[in-house]
Structure 1
Amino acid sequence: MTTIDPSLYLSNQPKTRTPSASLGKDEFLKILMTQLQNQDPTNPMDDREFVSQMATFSSLEQMMNMSNSIEMLVQSQLVSPVIQYSHMIGQEVSYMDVDQETGKELGKVTSKVVAVSQHEGWAILELENGEKIYADAIIQVSDPGTKEEAGDRITE
């Protein structure tokens, strides 16, 4: 003899429902279909009212698509290191030059940023002196227009 799983009894189902804070296109379609199924056959829904509801549904769907597209655009711009560091172009940056073989610091180097690129998700600053450095290697940023004459600079 087969038995019925007790979890399927109506008495074991939740007694209260948790309402959704938003009405999406799926809920709107369910309401519209229920309304069409339960209408009075002797007095069917007015054509204009039906067309109005379908236009509302279409408008709702387009707004949701536009909202999703804008959200994706914002997310892609927040993630892109090129966009995050594009304001550095034209700025003068200083970084520590390190000997690749020994790992010894050779001194502070200053150069102007001419381009920003990306490699494996990291921002790469391309400098006027031909070097390419990671953005997190910068120890100082300055505006070249506010510096004093080159002869008055302190070099390290």
Structure 2
Amino acid sequence: MASSNPLNTINVGGVVQKLSDYEAAQNQAKAKDKKNDALGKDAFLQLLVTQMKYQDPLDPQDNSEYLSQLAQFSALEQMTNVSKGLSEVSKIVDNINSSVLIGQLSGMIGQPVQWITEVKGSDGKTEKQNFEGKIIGVSITDGQPSVIADVNGKTHQVEVSKIVRVGRLTAEKP
């Protein structure tokens, strides 16, 4: 009986397999996962080359047809580039919006703030609860801006959408 070489095997979930069999199974799974729904630049060029390769030499296609196809390909490539550029511009605009919002929120540091948040009660039901504190900082977590508020020495991170009032409720007397 031939002994299996432990260097050429892999243990997956307690099952020992030959490394080559495992890699083949993984490659098949990856091939199934890939979607070939959209034709890309490479597929278009392969199609064009195949078309030229198998044309009838006694009745070749007109050059204007090839030029038309190349023009369509060029237009497709330009649209793809524009799409990528717009995606990058969108990211830049999002960063600018976040920066402007952070600047505005920073101006609120030191101001009183009131917010409403949902809290689970002892009976398991959620109820709305009002909090009041003083803004001591600004934060961005997972792309979401929030303020840091102090309530009697305890800090709270408050989403901007939960804030109902910033500033004093009444004017101070001189």
Q: TM-score, normalised by structure 2?
A: 0.45
Q: Which has the higher strand share?
A: 2
TM-score w.r.t. structure 1 length?
Answer: 0.49
